[in-house]
Amino acid sequence: MIIVFDADIFEEKVQDYDEVVALGEAENILAVSNPAFELFLLLHFENAYEEDIKPNEEKIIKNEKDGNQTFVYKLLLARTGVNSKKNPAIGELAENVNIAIAQEKQINEDIHKCKGKVTCNIGAIIESIKRDQSI
């Protein structure tokens, strides 16, 4: 089973993140984004790493709310123009998954060392699955 979760929730509410990861990896694959899944969605846009993520890493990792919207959500909203939590059109980003996989390599993909770091390993997992299917 692949379990997808945002690490910021665990940083705030779970003391033993390493223990949670170890237990999760025992029989599953963990797909982690830090701070939030919107980070992975943002990676689907050409040059998003250079234009949105790299210059805003500190703000992204803090991911403070402005009203009811987090910083990384607002970055994604600026790129898409749609509510990524409610609009099914966000699924069309899957067409650009190879862009996301390539851009993800520019950020930390090690879920064991994600505290305080912009992190995502979802693209790496998808890439691994795609590689296995081509055999």
Please report the pLDDT score of residue 14 as a whole number: 58
Number of H-type helices and E-type strands within the chain? 8, 5
What does the pLDDT read at residue 135? 45
Within 8 A by CB and 6+ apart from 114, the residues are 7, 32, 34, 108
pLDDT for 15 beyond 90 = no
Q: Is 119 helix (H, G, I), strand (E, B) or coil?
A: strand
Give the model confidence (pLDDT) of 40-92 as tens digits. 999 999 999 999 999 999 999 999 999 999 999 999 999 999 999 999 999 99
User: Whole-prediction pTM value?
Assistant: 0.90
What is the pLDDT, as a whole number, of residue 84?
A: 93
The pair of three-digit structure tokens given for residue 28, joined into one six-digit string: 């599953």
Give the CB-side neighbour count of residue 65, counting CA atoms within 13 A. Answer: 4
Q: Which residue has the tokens 């990676």?
A: 43
